[in-house]
């Protein structure tokens, strides 16, 4: 079954660590963007019916209920097996949640990132741990039980003790799903660029070492496991039955179509990406042009292992793949980075920490 991703790149503030094509954009652009988004959706040849929908961004939880309903009504297949809303803590209330439920939303991903106020202050996030707690209670009261909590390992000033404090909050909230992302350092975020330039703004001078970030991640793996929240993908952990069905499509190379600025798609052996500039996206779609900025053939062997090995279940190679990748398989198994599990091959715990080294091998073959 296929999935649909909807990009809503508007935010109330731009977080320092964010490297997505989103931000604080002119208010007058918002209605034009929604119109372009609806136009792109209407132009889709729906010869299939999606069973998952995912609203990301950006901060789609800022969408007005009537606007959200209009967008989701344009997507066939309701009620979907899973419809996820990414939400910034404190950006919604009980009435908003009721409207989400009416529109078909049954899963919410909260961008908590940390439960330590000093760490949050350096990211640009405005919420507090108590706000996240209140949001979780409100979601459950309105019938949304599938809730994800996002955490970042590697925030400015973070220590093993403060990261443990965030994990304590995860336990307190009894979250069924947790995402733990190790801080990405690149020039696409303000923090990343500051670090690369050797500056000190945004807490760049207080970023933990790579070794410390690895320790935070391993602590999360161990602690979440004791709570019955198992790692099923490198950055994602869930209680049985609470895995993200939509995101599993990405890692299993199932088809999905993305709508909106910087949205990505995969279907029938082709990958394509929409323009990442919101203004350019709106102008092109409004004028009757294509939202696509580029399109390429998918590389099935490379991608199958590049994304499939991210999953704890690993990949089941075909006989031809066992022959083709015999040498790298053997080398990584000898190095303790890969292991066999019946007919499948998967990363070992050590392999997870050195996964990029493994992935690069398959991309370069």
If one counts every other C-beta atom within 10 angstroms of the C-beta of residue 319, the result is: 7
* Nearest Cα residue to 274 out of 41, 85, 25: 41
Q: Give the tens place of pLDDT for each residue, 9-43.
A: 998 888 888 777 777 888 899 999 999 999 999 99
Domain boundary among 230, 251, 272: 251
The total number of structural domains that make up the chain: 2
% of the chain exceeding 70 in pLDDT: 98
* Same-domain check for residues 76 and 157: yes
Are 141 and 227 members of one domain? yes
pLDDT digits (tens, 9 = 90+) for 137-175: 999 999 999 999 999 999 999 999 999 999 999 999 999
Is residue 42 included in any domain, yes or no?
yes
Same domain, 208 and 70: yes
Same domain (yes/no): 334, 204: no
Q: Please check whether residues 18 and 101 belong to one and the same domain.
A: yes
Q: State pLDDT tens for residues 184-243.
A: 888 878 888 888 899 989 888 889 999 999 999 999 999 999 999 999 999 999 999 999
Output the pLDDT for position 123.
Answer: 87
User: Are residue 33 and residue 167 in the same domain, yes or no?
Assistant: yes
Three-state DSSP state, 262? coil
Tens of pLDDT, residue by residue over 80-128, are 999 999 999 999 999 999 999 999 999 999 999 999 999 998 888 889 9
Do 92 and 14 belong to one domain? yes
Does pLDDT of 365 surpass 60?
A: no
CA 334 to chain centre: 32
Q: Which residues contact 106 (CB under 8 A, 6 or more apart)?
A: 79, 80, 82, 83, 144, 146
265 found inside a domain: no
**332 is in which domain, residue-wise?**
314-364
Question: Which residue blocks in 74-189 are alpha helix, DSSP H?
Answer: 94-103, 117-123, 129-141, 160-173
CB 16 within 8 A of CB 202: yes
């Amino acid at each position: 079954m296929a999935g649909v991703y909807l990009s809503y790149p508007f935010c109330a503030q731009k977080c320092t660590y964010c490297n997505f094509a989103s931000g604080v954009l002119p208010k007058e652009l918002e209605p034009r963007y929604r119109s372009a988004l609806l136009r792109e959706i209407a132009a889709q040849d729906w010869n299939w019916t999606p069973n998952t929908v995912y609203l990301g961004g950006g901060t789609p939880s800022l969408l007005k209920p009537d606007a959200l309903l209009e967008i989701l009504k344009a997507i066939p297949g309701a009620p979907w097996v899973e419809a996820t809303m990414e939400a910034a803590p404190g950006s919604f209330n009980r009435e908003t949640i009721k409207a989400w439920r009416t529109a078909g939303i049954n899963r919410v991903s909260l961008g908590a990132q940390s439960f330590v106020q000093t760490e949050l202050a350096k990211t640009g996030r405005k919420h507090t741990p108590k706000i996240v707690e209140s949001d979780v209670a409100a979601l459950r009261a309105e019938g949304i039980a599938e809730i994800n909590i996002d955490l970042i390992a590697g925030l400015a000033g973070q220590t093993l003790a403060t990261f443990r404090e965030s994990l304590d909050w995860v336990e307190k909230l009894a979250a069924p799903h947790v995402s733990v992302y190790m801080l990405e350092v690149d020039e696409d975020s303000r923090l990343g660029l500051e670090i690369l330039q050797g500056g000190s703004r945004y807490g760049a001078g207080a970023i933990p070492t790579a070794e410390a970030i690895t320790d935070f991640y391993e602590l999360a793996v161990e602690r979440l496991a004791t709570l019955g929240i198992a790692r099923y993908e490198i950055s994602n952990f869930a209680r049985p039955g609470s895995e993200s069905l939509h995101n599993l499509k990405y890692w299993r190379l199932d088809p999905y179509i993305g709508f909106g600025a910087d949205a990505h798609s995969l279907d029938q052996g082709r990958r394509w990406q929409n323009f990442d500039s919101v203004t350019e996206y709106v102008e092109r779609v409004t004028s009757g042009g294509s939202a696509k900025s580029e399109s390429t053939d998918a590389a099935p062997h490379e991608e199958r292992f590049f994304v499939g090995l991210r999953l704890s279940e690993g990949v089941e190679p075909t006989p031809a793949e066992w022959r083709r990748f015999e040498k790298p398989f053997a080398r990584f198994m000898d190095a303790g980075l890969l292991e066999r599990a019946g007919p499948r091959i998967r990363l070992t715990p050590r392999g997870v920490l050195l996964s990029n080294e493994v992935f690069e091998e398959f991309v370069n073959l």
